[in-house]
Amino acid sequence: MKNFYNDAEHIQILIALMKAHKIKKVIASPGATNICLVASLQNDPYFEIYSSVDERSAAYIACGLAAETGEPVALSCTGATASRNYVPGLTEAFYRKLPILAITATQKIEKIGHNIPQVIDRSVEQKDIFKMSVQINEINNEDDRWASEIKINKAILSLFHKGGGPAHINLTTDYKATYLTKELPKVRVINRIRYNDELPLLLGNKIGIFVGAHKKWDKFLIEEVEDFCQKYNAIVFCDHTSNYKGKYKAFSGLILTQEGYVSPCAQVDILIHLGDISGTYLNIYPKKVWRVNPDGELCDTFKTLEYVFEMEEIDFFRKYNNNIKINDKENSFFIEWNKEYKDFYLKDIELPFSNVWIAQQTILKLPKDSILHLGILNSLRTWSYFDIDDTIIVYSNTGGFGIDGCVSSLIGASLAEPNKLFFGVVGDLAFFYDMNSIGNRHIENNLRIMIINNGRGTEFTNYGHLGSKFGNDADAYIAAAGHYGNKSNKLVKHYAEDLGFEYISASNKDEYLNKLDIFIDPKMRNKSVIFEIFTDSNDESEAIKIMKNIKVSKKITSKRLVKSMLGENVTLGLKKILKR
C-alpha cells in the first residue's frame, strides 16, 4: 500500500507550515521517534532531503547549506541524546544568525524522570543555541490545534526575525503507524511585515481598529487614524483604557458585552489590533486580524491573526493612507455604529444602588482634564459601560491584572502632577490589599479615592460568574467575605482621617448624591478625599445582569423560553440526543 502523510494532525500541521513558509531543505538523521515526520517528508516531492547519521555533522552541514543558499534548513533527529549532538552546530548557527530549524522528536514529555528508555529532558536549553524553542504535542481539540499553529509559526518566523538565527521545535510523537492522509490540512499562516517590506492589500467592506490599553495618543497619530478610517470605512473599537479620543471612536463597553445579542458591527472583515491587554472583554468577531506593534510578537487575542506589522502605529497608518490619495465616500460603518450606539444609550435604564449605578451618575461629572484609575476587575467593567469626557485619561493595571497595586499605581501617578486631580475607583478587597500605600508621606491634596465596599470579592458572586453557582457558600473562601471589619463604617474612616484624608461615605442613592459634589469638586480641596460607599453584592449582580441584557435577539429569547419551560437538565439531554 502506498504511503502518504502520517495521520497525526500535529505532524501534518508542521509540514503544512514548513511548506507555507518555504522550508524545503531538510537534513534527516536516522531514528525511531522521528519516523512519523521523516517518512511524511519523504513522501512529499516538495522537500529536498539529505541524510546524515551523525547529528553533530548534520547541524554543521545545515550551517553550510543555509549560509550558501540563504534559505532556511530543517534538521530532524530522534530522542535520547541525538539532540545533544546538535549543540555545537547550533551554537555556530546562533552566532552567525543562520536560519536552522531543529526539530527534535520526543516521546510524551510526561515520561521524563521515570527511568523510561530514550526519554531525556529538553525543557531547559543553553541561551546561545536557539532564538526560540517550542513544545508541540498531539492534538486533542481545537485549542490544541490553535496552540500548535501559533507556536510553529512563531518558531519559523524567528529564523529571520531581528537578524535571524536557529529555532527549535520539540515534537512529541505517538508512533502513529498509518500514513493514509493524502492532503495536508489547511493551516493558518502568520507572517511578519517590517517597515521596508511590501504591504499586503487591505481588502474588506468593514474594517475595525481595536485598541487595548494604550498610552496617551499624540495628535499626529490621531490624524492618521482619522484619515485611515475615512479612506477604508473603518471605526475604532475602544474602552476607557484605550484612551482614543478621535472622530471615529466606537466606545464599546456596553454594546459589545451583551449576552443575548451580537451587534452586526462586531463582525468585521479585518481588525487592526493596537495596544496591549484590554480588561473589558469585548466580543468582536473578525475574519482576519492584523496586529500592529513595534515588538513584532504574535499575540493572537482573537485567534484569527494573519499579519504582525513590526513597526510604529503611525508608520502603519501613513503607509496605508498613502495608498489612497482621496476618498470622499461617507463612512457607512461609522454611521451604522452611531445608530447602534443611540439605540442603546437612549434607553432609560433603572439600576439598583451599585457600582454600575454609581458609574452612571458620576462618570460624566468628573472634572475635565483629570485622570481616572479603575481597579481590577469589577470597577473596570462597570465604569466601562458609560462613556467619559474626551479630556480625561484612564488607566488600569491590566498588564499583570492583579488587585494588589491599584491604589499604589494611582498614588504614583498623582505624584507626577500635583496640580492635577487623580481619581480612583476600587473594590474593598483591592483597597485593603493596598491600604498601606495611603500612608505614604508624599501624598498631597490631589487624590480622590472611591471605595466600593460590599464586604467581599463581589466579582466571584456576580451574575454569570462561576462562583455564583455556589450561592452563599461562595462567601467562605471563593469570595473571601467578612474580612477587614466586615463592612465596618468606622474602620476606613478612622484610618483615613488619622492619615490626613477627608472622609465621606454613603449607603444609599440619596446619601451618595448628597456627597458627590465633594468627591468631584473641580477645585483642589485642603485634603485628599476618600469616599467609601457601602453596597450589597446582590444589587451589584443584578445591575450587571441588567447591563448585559439591554438588548436580546429573538433567537436568544426563544432559547431562554424553551430552557425555562423544560428545565436545564432536559435541555442538556436534548442537545446530547441531537448531536448523535
Over residues 557-571, the pLDDT tens digits come to 666 555 656 665 655
pLDDT digits 0-9 by tens, 352-388: 999 999 999 999 999 999 999 999 889 999 999 999 9
CA atoms within 13 A on the CB side of 237: 31
Question: What SS3 string covers 373-434?
Answer: EECCCHHHHHHCCCCCCCCCEEECCCCCCCCCCHHHHHHHHHHHCCCCCEEEEEEHHHHHHC
The CATH topology of domain 355-546 is Rossmann fold (3.40.50)
Torsion angle of the four alpha carbons 448, 449, 452, 455, in this order, in degrees rounded to the nearest 10: -150
The Cα 74–Cα 54 span in angstroms is 15
Query: What does the pLDDT read at residue 576?
Result: 55
Residue with cell 473641580: 522
Contact 98, 63 (CB under 8 A): yes
How far apart are alpha carbons 93 and 58 in whole angstroms?
A: 12
Q: In this predicted structure, what is the pLDDT of residue 74?
A: 98
Asked which of 100-104, 462-466, 575-579 is least confident by mean pLDDT, the reply is: 575-579
Instruction: Round to whole Å and give the CA distance between 290 and 273.
Output: 6
The pLDDT tens digits for 74-111 are 999 999 899 999 999 999 999 999 999 999 999 988 88
H helix or E strand, kind and range, residue 473: none
What is residue 233's DSSP assignment? T
Rg for the chain, CA atoms, rounded: 28
Q: Are 404 and 434 in contact (CB under 8 A)?
A: yes
Rounded CA separation 256/253 (Å): 6
Percentage above 70 pLDDT, the chain: 95
Virtual CA dihedral for 25, 29, 31, 32, nearest 10 degrees? 0
Listed range (45-54, 316-325, 480-489, 556-565) with the worst mean pLDDT? 556-565
Per-residue confidence at 553, pLDDT binned at 50, 70, 90? Answer: confident
Supply the mean pLDDT for the chain: 94
CA dihedral angle for residue 354, residue 357, residue 359, residue 360, rounded to 10 degrees? 180
Count other C-beta atoms under 10 Å from residue 368's C-beta. Answer: 10
Residue 579 has pLDDT above 60, yes or no: no
Alpha carbons 137 and 144: distance in angstroms, whole number: 8
Name which of 1-5, 141-145, 417-421, 535-539 the model is least confident about.
1-5
Judge whether 207-345 and 355-546 match in fold: yes
pLDDT tens sequence across 299-331: 999 999 999 999 999 999 999 999 988 777 899
Mean pLDDT (whole number) for 173-200: 95
Q: Could you say which of 3.30.465.10, 3.40.50.970, 3.40.50.720, 3.50.50.60 is the CATH number of the domain covering 9-189?
A: 3.40.50.970
C-beta neighbour count of 186 within 10 angstroms: 8
pLDDT of residue 480: 94
Q: Give the domain 207-345 fold.
A: Rossmann fold (3.40.50)
In this model, does residue 227 exceed pLDDT 90?
yes
Task: Say which residues have a Cβ less than 8 Å from residue 36's Cβ, sequence separation at least 6.
Answer: 6, 8, 11, 105, 173, 175, 176
The pLDDT value recorded for residue 562 is 58
Would you kindly state where each structural domain of the chain is located, as residue ranges?
Answer: 9-189, 207-345, 355-546, 550-579
Q: pLDDT for 498-515, tens place per residue?
A: 999 999 999 999 999 999
Length of the chain: 580
